[in-house]
Homo-oligomer: A and B are copies of this chain.
Amino acid sequence: MVTIKDIAEMAKVSKSTVSRVLNNSGYVSEDARMRVEKVVEQTNYTPSQHAKSLRTKKTKIVGVILPTIQTETSSKIVTGLGREFSKLGYEILLANTNLNKEKEFEYLDLLKVRGVDGIVLIATNTEPKLLEKIKEINIPLVMVGQAAEGMMSVTYDDYHASRELTSLLIDKGHERIAFIGVDETDQAVGMRKKGFLQEMAAHQLEVSETWLEKGIFDIDSGYDAMEKILSNSRRSPNKIPTALIAVTDRLAMGAMSYLKKQGMRVPEDMAIAGFGASEFAQYLDPPLTTVDYQNEKAGEEAAIQLINCMHSKNHTEKIVLDYRLIERTSI
């Protein structure tokens, strides 16, 4: 392997001078610079990142912790991150927790040991333990999808999106609307529920407990939740909902699947809407009404924010992204 020493000898200068031309630091004569550059060219020498990192304490690597890469949300965010980071020569170290919360902690430590310059956390919760740990490792970090006290973050306007979606359903004449949510530790998605409830309340519409179910993030749990809602509602007459909001498109997809199997029509018997603007939402039958959150943009913004922070310290900021309602024939 060719090292800085070799270059120095070949260019008949010292290692220091080579280092100077490589990093554009300090004075160096035109003559020397030329000789060095020529040799570097010929050998297509590239400095060892290890040695460099050892000296400078910088790695040009950012860690990305995510719950699963197998969702459109995550993969779009990662695409956005990659696009911005690569512009500045940063690379991404992937830390996939596979929805295992403990692994978030492990990875936080691991990334510190690896000496990453910054961390992007695609979070699913904002539990105090996690926030403490983040402060403890003391590395620039930006959360995506969840906001928390004293943390940089890029989030979506879940609350207003949900209110607007609910409002749309009400405008269409629906008064009994069901809702499929997820675990309450996910605050961001929690805001979708809050928005829904408040909009219903604003219209003096009651929400029966039997219309509220929870799923995890997969399609099947949407199927199951829809089944429960229907079977529970049937006990009391006039309690069967005419519309459904699911907090993700996958859940909505599962719910739709159940309805079809039961011979119910969408949207005639049950209107359905989701969140997330899955690429497949428009190819469902009927095409699914949903909310587009611009995930790639979120990734880009997070990257920009993190880079700013890494370059000038303490650039705490909270970015809230806009959303876009996509109305289709499922409602």
Contacts and interface: CB of A to CB of B under 8 A. Distances in A.
Contact of A48 (B47, B51, B82, B115): B115
A49 B112 CA distance: 10
Nearest to A109: B46
Interface string A64-101: 10001110101110110011000000011111101000
A61 interface: yes
Contact of A50 (B54, B69, B94): B54
Contacts of A51: 54
A70 B68 contact: no
A69 B75 contact: yes
A91 B91 contact: no
A205 to B, nearest CB: 30
A73 to B, nearest CB: 11
User: How big is chain A's contact interface, by range?
Assistant: 35 or more
A34 interface: no
Contacts of A253: 280, 283
A98 B114 CA distance: 26
B54 A79 contact: no
A167 B307 CA distance: 55
A155 to B, nearest CB: 21
Interface string A175-187: 0000000000000
A26 B285 CA distance: 67
A102 interface: no
A93 to B, nearest CB: 6
A22 interface: no
A126 interface: no
Contacts of A260: 285
B70 A69 contact: no
A233 interface: no
Given A91-B110, A93-B61, A95-B91, A219 B53 contact: no
9 contacts: A50-B115, A68-B79, A69-B69, A70-B72, A91-B93, A94-B94, A254-B283, A257-B283, A284-B284
Give the 4 A-B CB pairs with smallest separation, nearest first.
Answer: A285-B285, A50-B53, A50-B54, A92-B94
